[in-house]
Chains A and B, each alone.
Chain A
């Protein structure tokens, strides 16, 4: 497994916390969603760095008040064709104002990465060897012209009307 954040491969400072295990005082663990719901009371007022993993189908309203306290939110792609996490990412960024690390986990393939970035993901946990190789080479397949607003700053070209933008 390799972790890429903002285009750079890095060691993962975070560990997935198994269900039922207590979080260490130093934090840096990613809670499973349900386990967090049980444990959240213990962290009231604490600013220990914590993460949470969210599966597709989750109603974000259940953790609305907690979202900004997380440093990492991992959104799962159980299959690359399951596109729910794209919407969850946009909701987290737009609706809930989440500014921390948004990490794609699960089946993360190179052809989806640009779409993920445009929905607000900035970190990618990659198990597919070919995808990891492509990312190491800085090769993210995609396009450079976009018809929609996105979570990224995509430099407007001249007097482009409405939402059309090109990558700088």
Chain B
């Protein structure tokens, strides 16, 4: 994985000093809260309902064991003993004191971490496929390019006061695990006819109150032009994006209002006119960064692991764990292991300090010192030998980390909601907990099969409800929480936005409504091979609407 050199370390130290000075000037009254706000945001500090929240960047979701242990230390020392992994592959601490934040940042800098640009109207932490460098279907590891973009966008002098936040996501595989089509810019690695690497470019996707799927604006962007082209897009956005209304300030609105063709013309004109030599990525530089992401030397193994098969034959729970939580790896005899942070009834994405340390230990012992954070709020050990899975599983069980529900109905994405967030209009965590408890991880969940439920506690959609197979949006109506349901959303390469079923459901009725949707699907699918999303795309809304709203008025829920 990427290691800081002296330059990166000095840069982060600079930034900590700069922010510490800003905190000091704020406390001394030299900066008003209004003047201080963008600085604290650009250093990851939010003011939440009950306290400050610190959001720490985990670039493209990659962590070492040492970094994970440091996060555990900070959780214990400066927070309440846990942290929350987010849908941007970051980590949030919900209870630090403002006065401690410079100290926390100094601790982070010791392990090459920071909170730079995890908030604010700037280019945010760059995300990438959490299976990058390991997945069997990958063309090339996208992380070196994510790292190059991360460096280029760090304290970018021109793009630090954009109309609104700006999110980049990259994938190196045709199967999109990074939801690139709901980002401001999405880059998908591809090869052209002559075998050269480049990017398919998507622009203008996003969720929030006006969800939009990104437009493909380029079929092949040569790798060397990655940074220059990004600058062209962001410059057009910075100059022309709306600033009169923060809800209409994202690039998706600009693309929509300008019209795709005019927008593309503007980007191409800017790109044609700029000094591209200056931003051209030399191949040697790409290779220098790629070397940091060289895959670990994995021992050669046979495809079939006898140790795994023996255990699987006698231990149903283990068999279910392997079935759900292990994905194909490039190297024979290896797998990509997803560790669920969705224990039944737990808060999605939360991990205790002790759990973080357990994962760090496992990464060191069995997984070449690599951990990933997924945007679905789970952790990943990207390189594990199938032979080691029984031992890893036993260790995970001890720490309540062996929930076998990846991709199933209880693997729910959920924003912090009204339990923490000052923007929220409804609670989302308790709804996730109740759905999780209702369906569990056992036979019922297995019967339902692949199902992504995503829950947001307000229209800003941090819980990605628009792209949930089932999306739940918590709203407030006349002082009462009500939950609107959408069906058929997807954040993958077949990206689609969910359709609203109709009137919302009360907190009491929401679990019953989900049950009705699930029952309708199971009754009407063409066998277990047709997952919910496929079935919904075939059936449409009608049968679900009928089941939800034409029952006896709430009698059975």
- The minimal Cβ–Cβ distance linking A143 to chain B, given in whole angstroms, is 4
Partner of B288, one of A90, A141, A150, A161: A161
8 nearest A-B pairs in the assembled complex, by CB-CB distance: A83-B161, A118-B157, A143-B14, A145-B11, A115-B157, A86-B158, A147-B151, A162-B285
- The minimal Cβ–Cβ distance linking B283 to chain A, given in whole angstroms, is 11
Binding site for A on B (CB under 8 A): 7, 10-11, 14-15, 18, 21-22, 30-31, 35, 38-39, 121, 151-163, 235, 238-239, 243, 273-275, 278-279, 281-282, 284-285, 288
A90, B270: Cα distance in complex, Å: 12
Chain A residue with the shortest CB-CB distance to B239: A87
| Contacts of A113-156 to chain B: CB distance below 8 A | 114-116, 118-119, 130, 141-150
Q: Which residues of B contact A118 (CB under 8 A)?
A: 157
**Is the pair B160, A83 in contact by a Cβ cutoff of 8 Å?**
yes
Known contacts A111-B22, A143-B15; is-contact A148 B152 (Cβ 8 Å): yes
Partner of B235, one of A87, A142, A145, A150: A87
**B interface: dominant SS:** helix
Of B7, B14, B153, B163, which is in contact with the most chain A CB atoms at under 10 Å from its CB? B7
Q: Which residues of A contact B35 (CB under 8 A)?
A: 80, 109, 111
A23, B282: Cα distance in complex, Å: 50
Tally of A-B Cβ pairs under 8 angstroms: 96
- The minimal Cβ–Cβ distance linking A30 to chain B, given in whole angstroms, is 22
| Contacts of A34-66 to chain B: CB distance below 8 A | none
**Is the pair B10, A83 in contact by a Cβ cutoff of 8 Å?**
no
Can you name 15 A-B pairs with beta carbons within 8 Å?
A82-B161, A83-B121, A84-B243, A87-B239, A111-B35, A114-B157, A143-B11, A143-B15, A144-B10, A145-B14, A147-B151, A147-B154, A150-B157, A160-B7, A163-B152
Partner of A148, one of B22, B30, B157, B285: B157
Asked if A12 is at the interface (CB within 8 A of a chain B CB), the reply is no
- The minimal Cβ–Cβ distance linking B21 to chain A, given in whole angstroms, is 6
**Is the pair B11, A162 in contact by a Cβ cutoff of 8 Å?**
no
Q: Which residues of B contact A114 (CB under 8 A)?
A: 157
- The minimal Cβ–Cβ distance linking A124 to chain B, given in whole angstroms, is 15
Q: Which residues of B contact A149 (CB under 8 A)?
A: 278-279
Partner of A145, one of B10, B38, B160, B285: B10
Q: Which residues of B contact A86 (CB under 8 A)?
A: 157-161, 238
Q: Which residues of B contact A19 (CB under 8 A)?
A: none
Q: Which residues of B contact A95 (CB under 8 A)?
A: 273-274
Partner of B18, one of A87, A142, A166: A142
